[in-house]
Amino acid sequence: MEIVFATHNTNKLEEVRKLLPKEIQLLSLANIGCSEDIPETGSTLEANAKIKADYVTQTYGYNCFSDDTGLLVDVLDGAPGVYSARYAGNQKNTEDNMDLVLAQLKSGSNRNAHFKTVIHLNLQGQSYVFDGIVNGTITETKMGSGGFGYDPIFKPEGFQQTFGELPLETKNTISHRAKAVQKLVEFLKNQTT
């Protein structure tokens, strides 16, 4: 089965590629000649995931899935949430985004947060949605250089290390994206048998 993952993020693509069974050939946007930056104009993670998947399916004719992920911090009323990638501005700078979250939590003791990933799949004219959540806390400083996005400031529940410090193999078993992708993979396996 051939399917497009609607992302330009090579880190995300590699994370997901490692989770998929060999019988599913994962194509990137570059593989299908899509270089445009698909606008994420939705007000929810679900809406953004749908917008991206629908764009690829309607424009290029491929079965496609897309994800949108947000970091939701309790004391920030769920922010950065749907604006996670551009929280500190439209330049989408990871360091600026992390710095802003850390600055906003500087005086507070409640550092609870969770990551949520929503996947929208378009397959043979039907649409499906899968999600994954991982709870944790925001650290006081950045720790680790692995992962991407907010990984160096997010410590998942039950671990002493941030996603930025944990090996990718470990992150891929516990992360929000891994949980959502696992639901997607189980679904796709049933479609290929």
Residues 122-171: tens digit of each pLDDT: 999 999 999 999 999 999 999 999 888 999 999 999 999 999 999 988 99
Segment 5-18, tens digit of pLDDT: 999 888 888 878 88
Cβ-based neighbours of 61, under 8 Å, separated by 6 or more: none
Domains of the chain as residue ranges with CATH: 2-192 (3.90.950.10)
> How much of the chain, in percent, has pLDDT values that exceed 90?
73
68 is annotated as an active-site residue: yes
Is the distance from CB of 5 to CB of 27 less than 8 angstroms? yes
Q: How far apart are the C-alpha atoms of 73 and 105, rounded to whole Å?
A: 9
Q: What is the pTM of this model?
A: 0.89
pLDDT value for 23: 84
The single residue of 37, 54, 68, 77 carrying the catalytic annotation is 68
**Token pair recorded at residue 136:** 């944790």
> How much of the chain, in percent, has pLDDT values that exceed 70?
99
Number of Cβ within 10 Å of residue 188's Cβ equals 22
For the segment 43-57, the average pLDDT, to the nearest whole number, is 96
